[in-house]
Amino acid sequence: MQRNIYAFIEKHLSKKECTLLTGARQTGKSTLLRQLGSNIKKANQPTVFLNLENKTILDRTI
């Protein structure tokens, strides 16, 4: 299911800015980002997906 916000975020991707997607658990944020990531990869653009609930990522120190 494509949500209304999908087109808004996709349009924003061309800007040299960050987009922060927040919301309650289980509302489709990760699914939306994976859909966007899939389309970006098809266009041969690099993507990075960070799940901040992943303890390995959270425990890393720079």
Convert the pLDDT of each residue in 31-41 to its tens digit. Answer: 898 899 998 89
Residue ranges per domain, the chain? 4-59
Burial 19-49 (b: 16+ CB within 10 A, else e): eeeeeeeeeeeeebbebbeeeeeeeeeeeee
Question: What global pTM score does this model have?
Answer: 0.67
What DSSP string runs through the chain?
---HHHHHHHHHTTSSS-------TTSSHHHHHHHHHHHHHHTT-------TT-HHHHH---
pLDDT at 2 exceeding the cut of 80: no
